[in-house]
C-alpha cells in the first residue's frame, strides 16, 4: 500500500500550509477572538484542505503523468505508483470524516459549511463535474471554496455573536473570495506551458497575455476589498500594511514567468490571443 511518507506527500502540505491553512483561523478570530477553539479549527482546516489536494491528485493522475515539473517534484505519488488507489481513497475518507465529526461537537452550521466545502472540492476535481476545466467557473469555484467557505468554516465553528450578513463578515468573505480567485490564476499561469494541450483551464483558454491582465484585475480587486475591510473593521496599521505586503507573494511566485514574459523575449502565444 505504500509507506506513510508517500501518503503524506499526497497531502501536498507545502502548497497550502502557509496560505489557505490560516483562513479558517482568521474566521474564528473574527467571530470570537483568540480562544482555545483555534486548536480544533487548525485540525479541521488541515484535514479539509488536505482532502481537496488529495482528491485533486486522484483526478489528475493522467495529466500529471505528462507534467514534467510535477513528476520531477514527486507531487503526485499515484503517478509513480508509490501509493495505491485503494489506500488513497481510505485517506480521502479519513480526511473528510475527521472535520465533519469534530464540527458536530461545536456547531451544526459549521458541519454543513464543512460538508459544502468538501463537496465543492470534489466537484472541482472529479468528473463529470470537473469545474477546474470549465471556463470562468474554475475561478468562481476556487474563489468560493478556497476563500469564502474556508473563512466561514472557522467563523461558524466559533458560534459567533456577530451576524453573518454584517458589513464586517461580508467584506471579509469578499476579500477571501478575491484572494482565492487570484491564487488560482497565479497557479494556472505558472502551469501554463505544461497545461496547454492537456487541460482547459481559464488561463489556457484566455492565453498568457490576457491572463496577465486578469491577474492584475484580481490583484486590484483584492486590494480594494482589503481597503473595504479596513473601513469596516479599522485594522491596526501593522496589520493593514502587513496584509498589503503579503500581496508581494504572488509576484514572487510568478517571478520566472514575469522575467520570461516581460523582461526577456516573450514566448509567442497561441492564436487564441
Boundaries of every domain in the chain: 1-161, 163-273
- Rounded distance, CA 55 to CA 115, Å? 15
The C-alpha atoms of residue 273 and residue 222 are separated, in whole angstroms, by: 25
Query: 10 Å Cβ neighbour count for 2?
Result: 17
CA dihedral (152, 156, 158, 162) positive or negative: positive
Judge whether 226 and 244 are in contact, CB under 8 Å. yes
Residue 176, classed as helix, strand or coil, is helix
The grid coordinates of residue 272 equal 487564441
Of the options 3.40.250.10, 3.30.70.120, 1.20.120.420, 1.10.357.140, the CATH number for the domain spanning 1-161: 1.10.357.140
pTM for this entry = 0.88
> pLDDT-derived band of residue 182, with 50, 70 and 90 as boundaries?
very high
- Tell me which residue of 28, 55, 50, 23 sits closest to 39, measured CA to CA: 28
Give CA–CA dist 183/124, Å, rounded: 15
pLDDT level of residue 271 (50, 70, 90 thresholds):
very low
111-156 confidence digits (pLDDT tens): 999 999 999 999 999 989 999 999 999 999 999 999 999 999 999 9
| Residue-wise pLDDT tens digits, 30-78 | 888 888 999 999 999 999 999 999 999 999 888 877 766 665 566 788 8
Report how far apart the first and last C-alpha atoms of the chain are (Å, whole number). Answer: 46
Amino acid 269: pLDDT: 55
Radius of gyration of the chain (CA): 19
* Per-residue confidence band for 1, with pLDDT thresholds at 50, 70 and 90: low
With vertex at residue 236, the alpha carbon angle to CA 235 and CA 241, rounded to the nearest 5 degrees, is 85
Give the model's pLDDT for residue 272.
47
Residue 266, pLDDT > 60, answer no
Q: Give the residue-averaged pLDDT of 222-241.
A: 87
Query: What is the DSSP-derived secondary structure letter of residue 14?
Result: G
Rounded distance between C-alpha atoms, residue 205 and residue 210, angstroms: 10
CA neighbours within 13 Å on the CB side: how many for 47? 22
Amino acid at each position: 500500500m505504500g509507506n506513510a511518507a508517500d501518503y503524506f506527500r499526497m497531502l501536498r502540505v507545502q502548497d497550502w500550509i502557509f496560505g489557505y491553512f490560516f483562513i479558517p483561523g482568521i474566521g474564528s478570530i473574527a467571530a470570537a477572538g483568540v480562544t482555545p477553539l483555534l486548536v480544533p479549527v487548525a485540525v479541521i482546516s488541515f484535514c479539509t484542505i488536505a482532502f481537496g489536494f488529495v482528491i485533486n491528485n486522484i483526478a489528475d493522475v493522467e495529466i500529471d503523468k505528462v507534467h514534467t515539473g510535477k513528476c520531477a517534484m514527486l507531487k503526485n505519488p499515484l503517478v509513480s505508483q508509490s501509493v495505491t488507489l485503494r489506500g488513497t481513497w481510505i485517506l480521502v475518507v479519513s480526511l473528510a470524516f475527521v472535520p465533519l465529526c469534530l464540527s458536530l461537537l461545536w456547531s451544526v452550521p459549521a458541519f454543513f459549511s464543512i460538508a459544502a466545502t468538501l463537496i465543492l472540492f470534489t466537484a472541482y476535481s472529479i468528473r463529470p463535474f470537473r469545474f477546474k476545466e470549465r471556463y470562468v467557473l474554475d475561478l468562481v469555484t476556487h474563489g468560493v471554496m478556497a476563500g469564502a467557505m474556508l473563512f466561514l468554516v472557522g467563523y461558524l465553528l466559533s458560534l459567533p455573536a456577530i451576524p453573518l450578513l454584517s458589513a464586517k463578515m461580508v467584506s471579509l468573505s469578499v476579500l477571501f473570495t478575491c484572494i482565492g480567485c487570484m491564487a488560482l490564476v497565479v497557479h494556472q499561469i505558472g502551469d501554463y506551458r505544461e497545461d496547454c494541450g492537456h487541460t482547459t483551464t481559464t488561463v489556457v483558454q484566455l492565453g498568457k497575455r490576457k491572463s496577465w491582465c486578469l491577474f492584475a484585475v484580481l490583484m486590484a480587486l483584492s486590494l480594494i476589498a482589503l481597503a473595504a475591510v479596513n473601513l469596516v473593521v479599522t485594522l491596526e496599521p501593522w496589520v493593514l500594511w502587513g496584509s498589503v505586503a503579503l500581496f508581494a507573494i504572488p509576484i514572487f511566485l510568478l517571478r520566472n514567468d514575469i522575467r520570461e514574459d516581460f523582461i526577456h523575449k516573450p514566448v509567442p502565444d497561441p492564436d487564441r490571443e
